């Protein structure tokens, strides 16, 4: 845990767990027990207990002896309702800009494949990729680095019907290039950019303190027929990664607006 942050450790853990609850991380298996969380965050159980008490007070979880700690279903419903409204504010990025830039950046970094397995699509993954729950998808977790150190912790899901992805190929080429080699004609992407707090697993891989602020990117890549072919959820160190958006003014003098010309990513 980062002891220099102006927050006590239990509050840092509370913020990380609250964010994970809002993402639906514990909907299926419940929140891990105090002993496991204490090991994960490298703190005493009393510290975890204080963080859990804050979550209970906020109405985010319920704790039942012999049953465990579970997200409050009413809050999960609110979360799902908000998720459905999110696409309204998303911006489209075309292949000639963002996607080509992503491939180029991938070629200039090294990659460590943490995991590469075939899994069954959960509710959230199925909805994003326009699949049925339980359909086969390839899930991969990768850490990309530059000479300065780790930059990103990226989780991707690709429908098995779109392409077959394996660990060996992920080590040699960016995923978008592998999709093109499989015959996928990339069309564009829809993405959101926000912020997340580093949990214990991500913090270890990105060499940051638990609770550190990260740049979070959720990107849905489509082919030329508007079929979703990849869902990417990336966490980036803001000191080593940035997005640049070029804007232009268009319209009459009384109604000029800013529009985006190109979205690019830069590793530092």
pLDDT of 3 above 60: no
- The pLDDT assigned to 251 comes to 62
- The pLDDT assigned to 75 comes to 39
**Rounded to 5, what percent of the chain is helix, strand, coil?**
35, 35, 30
Question: 90-267: which CATH topology?
Answer: Chorismate lyase (3.40.1410)
Report residue 31: phi and psi, to 5°. Answer: -75, 135
Q: List the domain boundaries for the chain.
A: 9-85, 90-267
pLDDT of 91 above 60: no
- The pLDDT assigned to 245 comes to 66
Q: Residue 150: which pLDDT band, with cuts at 50, 70 and 90?
A: very high
Q: Distance (Å, rounded) from C-alpha 229 to C-alpha 245?
A: 25
Question: 9-85: which CATH topology?
Answer: Arc Repressor Mutant, subunit A (1.10.10)
- The pLDDT assigned to 176 comes to 86
Enumerate residues 6+ apart whose C-beta is below 8 A from 6. none
Residue pointed to by tokens 């804050």? 54
- The pLDDT assigned to 12 comes to 81
- The pLDDT assigned to 82 comes to 41
- The pLDDT assigned to 158 comes to 96
| Sequence-ordered alpha helix ranges (H) in 111-190 | 123-129, 167-172, 175-181
């Amino acid at each position: 845990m980062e002891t220099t942050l102006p927050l006590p450790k239990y509050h840092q853990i509370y913020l990380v767990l609250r964010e994970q609850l809002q993402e639906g991380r514990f909907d299926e298996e419940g929140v891990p027990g105090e002993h496991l969380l204490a090991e994960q965050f490298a703190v005493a159980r009393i510290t975890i207990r204080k963080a859990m008490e804050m979550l209970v007070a906020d109405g985010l979880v319920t704790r039942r002896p012999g049953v465990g700690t579970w997200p409050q279903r009413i809050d999960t419903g609110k979360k799902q309702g908000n998720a459905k409204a999110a696409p309204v504010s998303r911006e489209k990025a075309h292949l000639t800009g963002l996607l080509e830039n992503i491939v180029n950046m991938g070629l200039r970094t090294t990659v460590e494949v943490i995991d590469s397995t075939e899994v069954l699509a959960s509710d959230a993954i199925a909805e994003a990729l326009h699949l049925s729950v339980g359909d086969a998808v390839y899930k991969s977790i990768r850490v990309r680095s530059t000479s300065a150190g780790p930059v990103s912790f990226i989780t991707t899901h690709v429908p098995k019907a779109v392409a077959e992805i394996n660990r060996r190929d992920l080590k040699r080429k960016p995923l978008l290039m592998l999709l093109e080699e499989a015959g996928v004609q990339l069309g564009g992407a829809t993405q959101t950019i926000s912020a997340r707090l580093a949990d214990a697993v991500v913090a270890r891989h990105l060499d940051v303190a638990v609770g550190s602020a990260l740049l979070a990117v959720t990107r849905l890549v489509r082919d030329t027929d508007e079929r979703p072919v990849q869902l990417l959820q990336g966490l980036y160190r803001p000191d080593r990664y940035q997005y640049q958006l070029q804007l232009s003014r268009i319209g009459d003098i009384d109604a000029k607006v800013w529009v985006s010309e190109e979205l690019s990513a830069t590793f530092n």
